[in-house]
Amino acid sequence: MTAHPLSSFFLQLSPAQTPGYAWSVSTPAGRLAAGFGGFRVVEPMRAPVEESTLFDLASLTKPLATALIALRAFDAAQLDLEAPVAGASPPSFTLLDLLRHEAGFPDWLPLYGSVSSPAALKSWLLRDCPRGPGAGCRAVYSCPGYVLLGMLLEEGLGAPMGQLFERYVSIPLGISSWEACFCPPANWRDRCAAQELHGEYEARMARPFGATPPPFRSGMAWGEVHDGNARFLGGAAGNAGLFGTLEAVERLCRAFSPQGPFLSPEALRLAWESPRAEGRHRTAGWKAAGSEGWWANALLPHGGIGHEGFTGTGVWMEPQPFRTYILLTNRIHPRHPGTDFGPVRAAFLEAAKEIQ
């Protein structure tokens, strides 16, 4: 791939901050610049990142899969996003509240420590999960809220998350399962960017709740989702579980182009516009520029949106003219470094914005 001045940024980034990476800056017409490098795995062997490497996209699953499924089903008149969710304890909330992180659910819980089986989780989230202020009062980023959203989509649309992603998103966009999928087949593991060994970071988070994350099949998150709640649900959940190549992430992002045909004008409005005048600004799936305390505020124009993922991933988009900035890494491999990745993401976005 053609070298670019940003290559020097990544030479400093890897391996100091992450073993491997892939990145791009794109418009609807295609890539302005892109690159990849480093290693998709360094333990127990070393293998380089390639253009076909599948990254665990972590919380990018929320906008690029879960929100896209919901918005496409909304466009097909198969979902009422503003109807109160049935069976929930008061105060009531809607699917749109869940999409915007405004249903009052906490930021994170080890859900595998709250119920004895995945089958019991939906009822627990609806009736027993502690929630904050009523729907629509304020946005609180919530993984449990998106876990529930994924379950409600599965129930309402009649298929598991992986099949819903194919039906509503990847097949219509011409993205093959080889490029983006939930639960990659075991024989694809060597294509995947490996993540954390043993999962000690989440184990420490879960201990105060008396919970233990489900173990990784091979002792390391390599070809299976790193997130423990998604792993508890079989690897495909509303909050995490999507794997994708750089090109697949580019095409998923282009689905949100304000000038594109994939979503209706109303669905695009929900994805790009936040109802909040202050505090944390959340759209249907995304964080919006101006959101309280977000490092990207200084780098995105008014109307910009973005999202980050725990494994070291990130997507940021500008509406006029439409541009996407994508950074995929496996920065928690083989062990979580215990550092804040925000400054690295900010440095990448600042440099990437200079590309013309």
Look at the block and give the residue holding tokens 């490029």: 179
Average pLDDT over residues 316-338: 97
Contact 19, 39 (CB under 8 A): yes
Band of pLDDT at residue 301, cut at 50, 70 and 90: very high
Q: Residue 12: what pLDDT?
A: 85
Structure tokens at 109: 């819980």
Average pLDDT over residues 299-303: 96
Quick check: 1 pLDDT over 50?
A: no
Its CATH architecture, for the domain 6-352, is: 3-Layer(aba) Sandwich (3.40)
Average pLDDT over residues 16-37: 94
Q: Which one, of 262, 259, 248, 249, lies nearest residue 29 by Cα?
A: 259
Q: Residue 5: what pLDDT?
A: 63
Q: Residue 57: what pLDDT?
A: 99
Q: Whole-model pTM? A: 0.97
Per-residue pLDDT tens over the stretch 183-229: 999 999 999 999 999 999 999 999 999 999 999 999 999 999 999 99
Q: Residue 224: what pLDDT?
A: 98
